């Protein structure tokens, strides 16, 4: 019997592929048989991440800023030119932005977070969907966050942006009714990563106690790993999730369960 969790023969486009969650997901997609098109604005880190894939993995690296519409149109058309189509789109690039109370937040910094986290996710879906609609199949997974479900002090715009990603996901899933395309998002919790360290340091510089208090609020009593997020993304990307659309999957050790 075929294993529906496998991604053999599928073309998977991943943004933010040089980052911790993006690169862990890229490795899992490749291990499950997908052909990879990896996008990131950081060319050096992207090359590094793609170089760590197994030697037999098929991967193309494209440098692009997801908040620029011409760049998005370009990465989508280069992906189709190189790989023929896009079966899976992991729309994952994101930034935490500045970490500061709202009265100290500059408008420029506020707009930058919305530009990457909301406009970038919107543009990705806008340009990938026509490719999937032509074939009548596809799976889109956006990266939201538990900050899209609950408030997060000192990263209010990040939280607002991730609430927006969940709204975009649910609405586009409904727009895709009857097309064969599924649209979901993943809501990682506190994942051991550069981004989490940056948020903790920004809230209380150098405060180890703050990090401990954060872990104590997680019922699983530990931080998550990027590879644990990747497992859920790979499921949503695959045919094993054939009846899953419009969902926001938490991967948070029950942090938001209460
Ligand atoms: N790390 C966490 O604890 C956590 C928790 C919840 C959600 N998330 C979300 O997961 C996603 C990945 O986060 P991560 O932890 O891997 O962070 P990361 O900083 O390691 O990776 C993000 C990647 O996105 C890229 N990127 C940023 N802006 C871009 C742009 N304009 N165009 C193209 N690429 C761009 C960066 O270069 C980087 O490689 C983000 O959307 C983030 O908000 C992370």
What is the number of the ligand 1 atom nearest to the C-alpha of 146? 6
Say how many Å lie between the CA of residue 53 and the centre of ligand 1: 19
- 45: its two tokens: 């880190």
129 lines ligand 1 (CB under 6 A): no
- Structure confidence at residue 18 (pLDDT): 98
Q: Is the CB of 145 under 6 A from ligand 1?
A: yes
Instruction: Over range 202-210, report the average pLDDT.
Output: 74
- Total number of residues shown for the chain: 258
Model confidence pLDDT, tens digit, residues 70-111: 999 999 999 999 999 999 999 999 999 999 999 999 999 999
Mean pLDDT score of the chain, rounded to an integer?
97
Give the closest residue to 62 by CA, choosing from 124, 144, 141.
Answer: 124
Percent of the chain whose predicted confidence (pLDDT) is above 90:
95
How many whole angstroms separate alpha carbon 17 and alpha carbon 3? 25
Ligand 1 centre and the CA of 2: distance in Å?
33
* 158 is an active site residue: yes
Q: Is 19 in the pocket of ligand 1 (CB under 6 A)?
A: yes
Chain segment 238-254, per-residue pLDDT in tens: 999 999 999 999 999 99
Is the separation of the CB atoms in 10 and 213 below 8 Å?
no
Contact (CB, 8 A) for 140 and 131: no
Rounded alpha-carbon distances, angstroms, from residue 180 to 108, 139, 153, 228:
39, 9, 39, 27
Q: In this model, does residue 32 exceed pLDDT 70?
A: yes
Q: How many Å apart are CA 148 and CA 248, to the nearest integer?
A: 10
Give the pLDDT score at 1. 76
User: Looking at 75, 90, 105, 158, which residue is catalytic?
Assistant: 158
**Burial of 221 (C-beta count, 10 Å sphere; 0-12/13-18/19+):** exposed
Q: Across the strands, what pairs with 250?
A: 187
Bridge pairing between strands 35-40 and 11-15: parallel
CA pseudo-torsion sign 62, 63, 66, 68:
negative
Number of alpha carbons in the 13 Å side-chain half-sphere of residue 50? 23
β-pair partners for 143: 186
| Cβ of 229 below 6 Å from ligand 1 | no
| pLDDT tens digits, 114-131 | 999 999 999 999 999 999
> Could you tell me the pLDDT band of residue 2, with boundaries at 50, 70 and 90?
confident
Q: Indicate yes or no: pTM above 0.85.
A: yes
Q: What is the pLDDT of residue 209?
A: 63
Beta-bridge mates of residue 185: 142, 248
Does ligand 1 lie within 6 Å of residue 194's CB atom? yes
pLDDT at 207 exceeding the cut of 70 = no
The domains of the chain are located at: 11-189+225-248
pLDDT exceeds 70 at position 165: yes
Residue 134: count other Cβ atoms within 10 Å of its Cβ.
Answer: 11
Residue at token pair 């369960």: 257
The whole-number pLDDT of residue 113 equals 98
Ligand 1 site, residue 188, Cβ cutoff 6 A? yes
Close Cβ partners of 77 (under 8 Å, ≥ 6 residues apart): none
Cα–Cα distance measured from residue 4 to residue 182, given in angstroms and rounded to the nearest whole number? 15
Tell how far the Cα of 1 is from the centroid of ligand 1, in angstroms: 36
Ligand 1 atom with the shortest distance to the CA of 188 = 6
Write down the pLDDT at residue 104. 97
Report, as an integer, the average pLDDT of 9-38.
98
Fold assignment, 11-189+225-248? Rossmann fold (3.40.50)
- Give the model's pLDDT for residue 163: 99
pLDDT given at position 159: 98
Please, which residues bridge with residue 15 across strands? 39
């Amino acid at each position: 019997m075929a294993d529906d969790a496998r991604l053999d023969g599928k073309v998977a486009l991943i943004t933010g592929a040089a980052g911790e969650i993006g690169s862990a997901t890229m490795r899992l997609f490749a291990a499950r048989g997908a052909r990879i098109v990896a996008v990131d604005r950081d060319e050096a880190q992207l090359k590094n991440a793609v170089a760590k894939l197994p030697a037999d993995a098929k991967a193309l690296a494209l440098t692009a800023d997801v908040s620029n519409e011409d760049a998005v149109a370009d990465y989508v058309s280069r992906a189709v030119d190189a790989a023929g189509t896009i079966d899976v789109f992991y729309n994952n690039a994101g930034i935490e932005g500045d970490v500061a109370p709202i009265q100290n937040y500059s408008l420029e910094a506020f707009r930058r977070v919305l530009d990457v986290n909301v406009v970038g996710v919107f543009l990705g879906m806008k340009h990938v969907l026509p490719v999937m609609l032509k074939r009548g199949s596809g799976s889109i997974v956006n990266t939201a966050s538990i900050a899209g479900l609950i408030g997060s002090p000192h990263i209010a715009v990040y939280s607002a942006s991730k609430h927006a990603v969940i709204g975009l996901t649910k609405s586009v899933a409904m727009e895709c009714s009857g097309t064969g395309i599924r649209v979901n998002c993943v809501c990682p919790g506190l994942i051991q990563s550069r981004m989490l360290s940056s948020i903790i340091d920004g809230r209380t510089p150098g405060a180890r106690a703050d990090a401990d208090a954060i872990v104590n609020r997680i019922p699983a009593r530990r931080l998550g790993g990027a590879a644990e997020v990747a497992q859920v993304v790979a499921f949503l990307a695959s045919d094993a999730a054939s009846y899953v659309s419009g969902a926001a999957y938490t991967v948070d050790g029950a942090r938001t369960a209460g």
